[in-house]
Amino acid sequence: MDHKKAVVLVSGGLDSATALAIAADQGFVCHCLAFDYGQRHRSELNASKRISAELNAAAHKLVKLDLQAIGGSALTDISIDVPESDLVVEDSGGIPITYVPARNTIFLSIALGWAEVLGATDIFIGVNAVDYSGYPDCRPEYIAAFEAMANLATRASVEGQCFNIHTPLISMTKQEIIKRGLTLGVDYGLTVSCYQATESGLACGRCDSCQLRKQGFSAAGVIDPTRYK
User: Which of 106, 96, 109, 129 minimizes the C-alpha distance to 195?
Assistant: 96
Considering only residues 10 to 29 of the shown chain, the ones binding a second copy according to CB under 8 A are none
Give the nearer residue to a second copy in terms of CB position, either 11 or 226. 11
Q: How many CB atoms lie under 10 A from the CB of residue 132?
A: 21
Region near a second copy per CB under 8 A, out of 51-59, 89-97, 193-201, 205-213: 89-97
Binders of a second copy: how many residues, by CB under 8 A? 49
159 near a second copy, rule: CB under 8 A: yes
Return the residue of 27, 91, 171, 228 that touches a second copy, per CB under 8 A.
91
Return the residue of 113, 164, 222, 227 that touches a second copy, per CB under 8 A.
113
User: Which of 78, 42, 63, 48 minimizes the C-alpha distance to 111?
Assistant: 63
Return the residue of 4, 56, 81, 155 that touches a second copy, per CB under 8 A.
155
User: Which of 152, 158, 150 minimizes the C-alpha distance to 122?
Assistant: 150
How many whole angstroms separate alpha carbon 36 and alpha carbon 197? 15
117 near a second copy, rule: CB under 8 A: yes
How many whole angstroms separate alpha carbon 120 and alpha carbon 68? 30
